[in-house]
Amino acid sequence: MADSVPPRQRSPRGSGEKLAAEIIDATTDLLIAHGSAESVSIRQVAQRVGVTPPSIYLHFEDKEELLDAVCAHFFEQFDEVMMAASAGVDDLWDRTLAQGLAYVRFAIENDVVYRTASIRVTPPGEPTLTDEALMSSAFVHFTDTVEEMMAAGILPTDDPVVTVLKLWSAAHGVASLMISKPGLPWGDDLAIAESILRAVCLGLGQEPVK
């Protein structure tokens, strides 16, 4: 039968985390291949991993929880990319810009997963794995940079979270437009994205201290 699952060797004791990671990777691959979360089923994931559908439910309550784990893993990867892009950059303006451009570039290169992660709605007071991954990794590191800029007098002393949200919104807006409207004359590489983010950074730096 087409839906039959190929035999898989019995997993050794304590290998549950490894299987969960394989399930997340398989779901990510299927998500990218199909272009949307709606087209991915638990049965497809199970077949790709080589287990039965009930084995998936031992690790994830349902498809939504599995997709949440996929999106959380995406933001963990993004944090690694963002930190690598700004590693060793001493100038705070350049570091902020490098982190913002890393966001845009990573979103474009992983557009399907990025769209899936971005459109997931979080009910008030009910943080998801995606939210927790974002808030404990990339958001924290970006906030650290903003706080350094404030301490150096480059940015007005304010609530750093508010400033991070302004900068993050700018990066998200640019990335979303470049993904959804690739036919617009964006030019080569990320030159326009860089000029937009630079303008936002400079604008915030020029705001009067209240």
One domain, residues 133 and 42: no
Domain presence at residue 5: no
State the Cα–Cα distance between residues 193 and 203, nearest whole angstrom. 15
More confident residue, 113 or 7: 113
Domain presence at residue 169: yes
Domain presence at residue 11: no
pLDDT at 85: 93
Q: Which domain holds residue 29?
A: 16-60
More confident residue, 60 or 3: 60
Question: Is 106:179 a contact under the CB 8 Å cutoff?
Answer: no
Domain presence at residue 116: yes
Domain presence at residue 118: yes
Mean pLDDT for all residues in the chain: 87
pLDDT at 13: 43
Q: Give SS3 for 173.
A: helix
One domain, residues 95 and 190: yes
pLDDT at 210 over 60: no
Domain presence at residue 10: no
One domain, residues 93 and 181: yes
Residue pLDDT, tens place only, 161-191:
999 999 999 999 999 999 999 999 998 889 9
**What pTM, to 2 d.p., does this model score?**
0.82
CB within 8 Å of 40: residues ≥ 6 apart:
27, 30, 31, 34, 63, 67
State the Cα–Cα distance between residues 7 and 153, nearest whole angstrom. 62
CATH code of 161's domain:
1.10.357.10
One domain, residues 109 and 158: yes
Residue pLDDT, tens place only, 129-150:
888 888 888 899 999 999 999 9
